[in-house]
């Protein structure tokens, strides 16, 4: 979606959110299901999914906090694997997510780990990292590095997740 969003912004001059909507529609139309092997937290599982997300610390999945984190310094990775196997189920999941009606146990495989390895039969995978897309060769290896980033703020202010 990030690749398509950036393409729409460059070619059509769209803003970030209108371009993201168009990108989401195109990805939904193509609906790429990928097979991955995930090893993390004494787990090993194979999955077929349209979306696998690895994030630093746990993300909120409720309506008012969707995409936010309670803390940035928890020192753990969180993996979110979408269970949707059809376009219709992904559309329904997206609608429920926007309304704050998702059920993580039903809609996602979610778990935390200190490190993770994601394998694929593909020779390279497009990986979005902080809005930038890179092509990487599997296996992809992730690890948490607690306290690796220092953030300076004016005295008396706290860092908030964006």
Residues of the chain with pLDDT under 50: 162
CA distance 84 to 28: 12
* Cα torsion 47, 49, 54, 60: sign: negative
**pLDDT of 160:** 64
What single-letter DSSP state applies at residue 157? -
Q: Which two tokens stand for residue 146?
A: 């607690």
Reduce the DSSP state of residue 133 to 3 states and report it: strand
> Beta 132-136 vs 140-143: how paired, if at all?
unpaired
Question: For residue 67, how many other CB atoms are within 10 A of its CB?
Answer: 11
- Please answer whether residues 68 and 77 qualify as being in contact, where contact means their C-beta atoms are separated by less than 8 angstroms: no
Reduce the DSSP state of residue 78 to 3 states and report it: strand
**pLDDT of 115:** 94
Reduce the DSSP state of residue 130 to 3 states and report it: coil
- The total number of residues shown for the chain amounts to 162
Phi, psi at 26, each rounded to 5°? -65, -45
**pLDDT of 96:** 79
The DSSP line for 40-76 is ETTEEEEEEES-EEEEESPBP-STTTTT-BS-S-S--
CB-neighbour burial class of residue 48 (10 A; exposed 0-12, middle 13-18, buried 19+): exposed
Reduce the DSSP state of residue 101 to 3 states and report it: coil
Show the domains of the chain with their CATH numbers: 1-30 (no CATH), 33-142 (2.60.200.40)
**pLDDT of 119:** 97
């Amino acid at each position: 979606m990030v690749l398509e969003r950036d393409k729409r912004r460059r070619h059509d001059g769209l803003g970030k959110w209108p371009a993201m909507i168009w990108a989401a529609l195109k990805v939904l139309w193509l609906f790429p299901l990928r097979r991955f092997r995930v090893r993390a937290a004494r787990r090993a599982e194979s999955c077929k999914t349209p979306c696998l997300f690895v994030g630093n610390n746990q993300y909120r999945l409720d309506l008012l906090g969707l995409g936010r984190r309670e803390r940035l310094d928890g020192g753990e990775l969180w993996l979110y694997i979408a269970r949707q196997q059809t376009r219709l189920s992904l559309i329904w999941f997206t609608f429920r997510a926007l309304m704050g009606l998702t059920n993580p146990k039903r809609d996602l495989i979610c778990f935390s780990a200190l490190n993770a390895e994601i394998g694929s039969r593909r020779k390279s995978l497009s990986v979005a990292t902080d809005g930038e897309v890179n092509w990487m060769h599997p296996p992809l290896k992730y690890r948490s590095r607690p306290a690796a980033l220092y953030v300076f703020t004016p005295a008396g202010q706290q860092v908030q997740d964006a």
